Amino acid sequence: MKITQNIDIRHLTRVEGHGNIKIAIKEGKVEQATWEVVETPRFFEAMLVGKKWENAPWICGRICGICSIGHTLASIRAVENAFGIVPTDQTSKLRLLLKHMETLQSHVLHLYFLAAPDFVNVGSVFPLIDSHPDVIKRAAKIKLLANDLCDCVGGRRMHPTRTVIGGFTMLPGKEELVKFKYRLQDVVDDLTRTADLFRQFVIPDFTRETEFVSLKGDGDYPFIGGDLVSTDGVVKKEHEYRLMTNEYMVGQSTSKWSKLSRQSFAVGALARLNNNFAFLHPAAKELSLSFGLKPVNHNPYMNNIAQLVECMHVVMESIDLINGMLDRELQEPRQKVVPREGIGVGAVEVPRGILYHCYEFDKEGRIVKSDCVIPTSQNHANIQHDLMALAEQYAREGKKDRDIELLAQMLVRSYDPCISCSVH
């Protein structure tokens, strides 16, 4: 049957920020399938101009409430690279532990509170509090652990306070870390149950061949710094990030868009997994394979499963990180900072994909120019092309409008977009 319908969703729910979906199908032919970003710009790159270096991470963390730790760490890395500061081994490990816990809390928030309601046909997580109390308690337990450990290492789960250029203002106590180790070991079982839950869900059958961009692992599944890679074979250095992002403006979006070898590319958990599968922790790898997820997977809905796999990876690796710290004496937390003229780039894998901060400093350490390229802004063009392909596929198949509407929303949610972040 040739379908005709109009879908007009203003301010899509259960995503961070403001975006609209518009689809128009006339007698089986897709006339329009548009992903609009209407978020207000806040002009962070302008705000920073004239500010001294120590302002950058404190202000830039405020780009995003969900991934403020990731922004803070990317900002710190950009400043440290500009000033030639190499973090100590202890600082690097604590930052990675902090980063892992942000990844865990963000992925669990997305999987349980934002994505799962679609798979069980409810409008939000709230009805599930009554109907599935155990499931919600499990989600809250994992999130609470992740956030508590963020408090312990970063001083605060949102807009962290202990993370500074040169290291940390203070360190967690070993007794605290021991307790967190046990709590991490305890949630491994909760993640296995989370996997059991997601195995009951039907992941929509839709693929579109896509280029995936992420950090390039060098022995480890990468999160902070290093080379950049795409599944189409592009490899660049961190400071050459602009060759990966190629930002441009379009009329339908207040966020910039990106492209690389094709008309669009994707970043995020699925991109990281597609590029760095070999470096996953064995338990995470096993979990991935149990869902049939291996590189290169081109189904955007599988980003949900890739997030689940990463939850397992970051928990297992965090246990190892804590074990390593418990075996050693804690060192001085903070290095002295001497500003100098120059440019620095920080690339960090945040929950929704690769994030870049770049600052140019004058000789007194004031910011002359700044640039932040956000994961979701890199994904917008890919969401747009996915949406068009999805509308065309389902129009061809004669799907009912409620189905297309739901599947289109689920598609956008699969990217776990952080829209206000993307516009910043």
Q: Which residues bind other proteins (CB under 8 A)?
A: 11, 13-17, 40-43, 45-47, 49-52, 54-55, 58-59, 62-66, 68, 105, 109, 113-114, 117, 123-127, 129-130, 136, 140-141, 143-144, 147, 155-159, 161-162, 164, 169-170, 249, 254, 362, 364, 366, 420-421
Cβ at position 208, least distance to other proteins in Å: 26
Cβ at position 122, least distance to other proteins in Å: 8
Nearer to other proteins, 12 or 33 (CB): 12
Nearer to other proteins, 100 or 143 (CB): 143
Nearer to other proteins, 41 or 173 (CB): 41
Cβ at position 40, least distance to other proteins in Å: 4
Cβ at position 336, least distance to other proteins in Å: 11
DSSP secondary structure code for residue 112 in this structure:
I
Cβ atoms of 269 and 213 within 8 Å: the answer is: no
Nearer to other proteins, 1 or 249 (CB): 249
CA distance 333 to 379: 36
CA angle 409, 314, 159 (to 5 degrees): 70
CA distance 297 to 295: 5
Nearer to other proteins, 158 or 389 (CB): 158
For 51, other C-beta atoms within 10 Å of its C-beta total 16
Nearer to other proteins, 129 or 243 (CB): 129
Nearer to other proteins, 92 or 161 (CB): 161
- Residue 194, token pair as written in the block: 């989370």
Nearer to other proteins, 52 or 328 (CB): 52
β-pair type (19-26, 5-9): antiparallel
- Residue 332, token pair as written in the block: 């001085």
CA distance 249 to 43: 15
Cβ at position 276, least distance to other proteins in Å: 28
Cβ at position 133, least distance to other proteins in Å: 9
Cβ at position 137, least distance to other proteins in Å: 8
Cβ at position 378, least distance to other proteins in Å: 17
Q: Which residues are within 8 A (CB) of 375 and not within 5 positions of it... i.e. 6 or more apart?
A: 267, 268, 350, 352, 353, 354, 355, 418, 421, 422
Long-range contacts of residues 156-162, Cβ cutoff 8 Å, at least 24 apart: 157/69, 157/105, 158/65, 158/68, 159/61, 159/62, 159/65, 159/68, 159/72, 160/61, 160/68, 160/69, 160/72, 160/98
Q: Is 319 exposed, middle or buried (0-12, 13-18, 19+ CB in 10 A)?
A: middle
Q: Which of 172, 24, 198, 197 is nearest to 98 (CA)?
A: 172
